[in-house]
Amino acid sequence: MKLVTAREMAAIDRRAIDELGVPGVVLMENAGRIAANELLARFPGGRLRSAAILAGSGNNGGDGFVIARHLMERGVKVAVICLKERSGLQGDALTNLEILENLGQHVTHTTDKEVLKGFGEWIFWAQVVVDALLGTGLDREVGGIYRHAVELINSLGKPVLSVDIPSGLSSDTGRPLGACVRAWLTVTFGLPKVGQVLFPGADYVGDLKVADIGIPKRAVLDQGVLRDIITHHDFLDTLAPRKADSHKGTYGHAAVVAGGLGFSGAAALCGLGAARMGAGLVTVGVPEGLNPVLEAKLTEPMTFPLADNGSGEFAVEAASQAVAFIEGKDAVSIGPGIGRGEGAHALVRAVLAEARCPVVVDADGLNVLARDLAPLKDARAPVIVTPHPGEMARLLDVSTKEVQKDRLAAAQRLAEETSTVVVLKGARTVVAEPGGGVSVCVSGNPGMASGGMGDVLTGMAAGALAQGMDPFVAARLSVFVHAEAADRAAAKIGERGLLATEAAREVPGILRDIEQGLFERDPSFIPGRPQPSR
């Protein structure tokens, strides 16, 4: 599902209306009808009896007038206030206002905050508020009567339906522009916007429903958008049923180079991730002093001892051994728990320089490359890197705050500079590739903020690569399945105390459901986080 900026969505709308001939008033009618139906669905059995609609002056306000009409037709008592004098309305918004008036609905028009304040007394008795004030084109801080309206809506603690986007939220950055409505449900039209799915915007959007309002697919394709949200539909052709006469060699051999004193679990989890993702064989290379520990801990993955320095860390001599170890393997993951000593530096550089199969680099593997990206740029084989924001900041020589300010740009920059596939982990993980493609994963939950989750993901990416997948596909699939597995585990046992091994246990089931078409989540609906009670 494509993910767009405000400018891209506006261009798509113009193409649909001006060049492909879809009347704007039809799109507005569809938008308002779908939004009203989504709202009514949340109050089954006619339980929605009253609603207050606050409308702006543009198409967002016109959508609000359509919503008011459809609610009226279903027996809902509505009160409508427009923060623009009637004489200032035009186009499709004016058309829908006139229809509403012809049906006998009074609409209050005002730019006076005292009149708005008086309207707030009626809102207090309404079951829900419809925010149809400001749309996706907003590019400056909210002020004047609109700021008062936003603050009024938020002060009442009512469930809020935001039309297209919460008023005051930047469509492109997800940051509030001075003041922003906190929605309970947002129904957005055509395609999701970048600022709705990245934080902090996701906290203001609430549940997000992407509504198909009749924009032709051609208008979207012609825009050439390279951004998207990862959904299970993306992998329906990726995960073919396994052949009856296949064997373990059919599905590749993944090598893992990981671990160090105090970090044997990182190596074990990385190997577990590769095996759960479906690699036929997995071998974990660890410092030889830890090999007995891993042999006892691991069952399915094999182990391979590499030289250590006597302190449980890789020795410099391990580099040449690792090059021999990965010979003939189908994918390699390297980094979790290896430390930042001389042995780790030599190991990472040797693997990147000599590996003929795809490589996944994570954790300490990235830290030893900080401020010297040459080994990544010069790697012989395709590379996936999986930094968290702190690691990304070190790689780009910027602050973590700068990375988090624009996660898409940070991931795209590193992908372009190093010709690697980049997985920027965190809430709403971003996957970018050197050609400009960038994807956002909207699955996952705060229970994933625990040790070992990233190690499992690193192994999963290697397991996908070992089966011959394209690196960008392998990264996107691993990120999506990992997050969905964590969601499934959290649904069973809760987020608090969720362990990496419990998420890994759910991976085969997620893969099966995608492969067999059993995956039930509606990709057009992105659930929001529950808000604290007021």
Reported as a single tens digit per residue, the pLDDT across 129-172 is: 999 999 999 999 999 999 999 999 999 999 999 999 999 999 99
Percentage of residues in the chain having pLDDT higher than 90: 95
In a domain, 120, yes or no: yes
- Residue pair 482/460 in contact (Cβ under 8 Å)? The answer is yes
pLDDT higher than 60, residue 340: yes
pLDDT higher than 70, residue 530: no
Same structural domain for residues 268 and 375?
Answer: yes
**In this structure, are 267 and 390 located in the same domain?**
yes
315 domain residue, yes or no: yes
pLDDT at 247 over 60: yes
Give pLDDT tens digits for 346-399.
Answer: 999 999 999 999 999 999 999 999 989 999 999 999 999 999 999 999 999 999
Alpha carbon 21 to its chain's center? 33
* Cα–Cα distance for residue pair 226/179, rounded to 1 Å: 30
Q: Are 291 and 305 in contact (CB under 8 A)?
A: yes
**Domain stop point among 174, 209, 225:** 225
Nearest in space to 3 (alpha carbons), one of 439, 447, 334, 479: 439
pLDDT of residue 121: 79
Bridge partner residues of 52 (DSSP)? 79, 129
SS3 at position 135: coil
Q: Are residues 220 and 258 in the same domain?
A: no
Residue range 197-211, pLDDT digits in tens: 999 999 999 999 999
Residues 207 and 286 in one domain: no
Angle between helices 342-354 and 318-326 (to 10 degrees): 30
Statement to judge: residues 211 and 263 lie in one domain: no
For the segment 217-236, the average pLDDT, to the nearest whole number, is 96
Is the per-residue pLDDT at 23 higher than 90? Answer: yes
Nearby residues of 391 by Cβ (< 8 Å), 6 or more positions away: 363, 366, 367, 370
- Residues 299, 405, single domain; the answer is yes
Q: How confident is the model at residue 28, as a pLDDT?
A: 98
Same domain (yes/no): 185, 319: no
Residue 473 domain-assigned (yes or no): yes
208 DSSP 8-state letter: E
Within a 13 Å sphere around the CA of 520, how many CA atoms are in the beta-carbon half? 2
Residues 469 and 80: their CA atoms lie apart, in Å, by 54
| CATH classification of the domain holding 98 | 3.40.50.10260
Mean per-residue pLDDT of the chain: 96
* 383 within a domain of the structure (yes/no): yes
Q: For residues 84-107, give the mean pLDDT.
A: 96
Residue 342 lies in a domain: yes
N- to C-terminal Cα separation, the chain: 34
Token reading at 508:
């085969």
CB crowding 467-491: b at 16 or more within 10 Å, else e: bebbbbbbbbbbbbbbbbbbbbbbe
Orientation of helix 59-73 relative to helix 91-102, angle to 10°: 20
Does 205 lie in the same domain as 57? yes
Question: Which residues form the domain of 144?
Answer: 6-225
Q: Is residue 396 part of a domain?
A: yes
Domains contained in the chain, number: 2
Find all residues with CB under 8 Å of 516, minimum gap 6, and list them.
Answer: none
Instruction: Identify the CATH number of the domain in which residue 369 sits.
Output: 3.40.1190.20
Q: Per the domain annotation, does 131 fall within a domain?
A: yes
262 and 174 together in one domain: no
Q: Clarify whether residues 300 and 180 are in a common domain.
A: no
More confident residue, 122 or 306: 306
Q: How many CB atoms lie within 10 A of CB 447?
A: 20
- Residue 534: the pLDDT is 35
Whether 196 and 284 share a structural domain: no
Instruction: Give the pTM.
Output: 0.96
Same structural domain for residues 220 and 361? no
**Residues 6+ away with beta carbon under 8 Å from 376:** 352, 361, 369, 383, 385, 418, 419, 420
Residue 122's pLDDT is 78
At position 18, the amino acid (one-letter code) is: D
In a domain, 430, yes or no: yes
Q: Please check whether residue 388 is in contact with residue 425, taking contact to mean a CB–CB distance below 8 angstroms.
A: yes
pLDDT of residue 531: 56
